[in-house]
Amino acid sequence: MPELTLEDIAQKAGVSRSTVSRVINGQPYVRAEVRARVLEVIRETNFHPNVAARSLALQRSWMLGLVLPRTVSSLFTDPYFPRLTQGVAQACNQHNFTLGLFLVGSAEDEEKIYPRVARKGLLDGLLIQSGELGDQLIDRLANTNMPFLVLGRPFHGENISYIDVDNVDAAYGAVVHLIRLGYRRIGTITGPIKSAVGIDRKEGYLRALVEHGLPVDESLIVDGSFSEAESYAAMQQLLPARPEAVFAASDMMAVGAMRAVREAGLEVPDDIAFVGFDDMPMIPVPEPRLTTVRQPIIKFGEKAVEILIDLIEDRTRGPQRVIMNTELIVRESCGIRGRNL
């Protein structure tokens, strides 16, 4: 008796071949009754898909790539990326994909990696962390047939799919929280100002000040790089401007800045209040506990994989734009012991 194929199962279930593929791989966007009908046919026929044969027939590798624009050292010192990778890996396992990791730390790295990730046959699709202004990898891939999804807002490209949080709105809400507590001289330590995330969180900070009638004081704005060490130095630069509160564009930077404040003989939040961004459970817990913007990093990675698989399965769909929610988590660094109006 000849071995059953996906087409056989599709015909018996009265659905398309792609629908059977989605059901087998546990992918979304299949109605419950259709999924149940396909699974019943699979059970009745004792169908077991041959992975190797399926890959050849579909010209699929069942492998996804994750491209991170970071050196190996910063990849493991910045807690954002291990959590992002965890979410991506979990979703790949769930959907029976293998994950390949590519680190792009320089233009030379990009030149070496691009032919590999763009080559047909090695990968079915790519997840690319949005980098800094001037990076060319996303633009180059936009001119290929490789399905890809950008993690974070790309700088340009109307036809590029991406997933992000609303960094402008989240930063705006964090700074407004400080304003409502009565703080007026509010400083910020920004992310890299060449990155979309750094630009967006700074924009949210500025918008909050302007809309609430507070002056923009350039002496209260210092660029950072999402690192604790550089934020420590940035806070030392901010101290002479006498900020009452600081919005740090990442929790790692908030930790470094709070250390600089304590070493200057000042107290948090009595002398300077703080709000961070990320709500990272794996960073050293500062005292007092940090008020911060929580973003769902692991779920972000999982959702990114689901969107990419959808792009792979249905290439006729237009660009996908998904914005995930954030939440301000109020703790003692400003919100509980701060100065209520």
Question: Tell me: the pLDDT tens digits for 20-36?
Answer: 877 876 666 788 888 88
DSSP E strands in 115-205: the ranges are 125-129, 148-151, 162-165, 186-190
Most confident of 45-54, 144-153, 196-205: 196-205
Where does the chain hold its CATH 1.10.260.40 domain(s)? 6-58
> Residue 111 above 80 pLDDT?
yes
* Mean per-residue pLDDT, 258-265: 96
Query: How high is the pLDDT of residue 28?
Result: 66
* Mean per-residue pLDDT, 93-115: 85
For helices 6-13 and 32-45, the axis angle rounded to 10 degrees is: 120
Give the amino acid at 94.
Q
Alpha-carbon torsion (246, 251, 257, 260), positive or negative: positive
pLDDT in tens, 288-298: 899 999 999 99
* Mean per-residue pLDDT, 224-238: 92
> Residue 52 above 50 pLDDT?
no
SS3 for 326? coil
Alpha-carbon torsion (80, 109, 159, 23), positive or negative: negative
Which residue would you say has higher pLDDT here, 54 or 235? 235
Structural domain 167-295, CATH architecture: 3-Layer(aba) Sandwich (3.40)
Q: What is the CATH number of domain 63-164+297-324?
A: 3.40.50.2300
Q: What is the CATH number of domain 6-58?
A: 1.10.260.40
Rg of the chain taking only CA atoms, in angstroms: 24
CB 143 within 8 A of CB 301: no
Among 17-26, 32-41, 51-60, 117-126, name the one with the lowest average pLDDT.
51-60
Residue 339: in which H helix or E strand, if any? none
* Mean per-residue pLDDT, 14-21: 83
Query: How high is the pLDDT of residue 341?
Result: 41
Query: How high is the pLDDT of residue 262?
Result: 95
Length of the chain as a residue count: 341
Residue 101: in which H helix or E strand, if any? strand 98-103
Give the amino acid at 253.
M
Among 94-98, 120-124, 312-316, 324-328, name the one with the lowest average pLDDT.
312-316
Where does the chain hold its CATH 3.40.50.2300 domain(s)? 63-164+297-324, 167-295
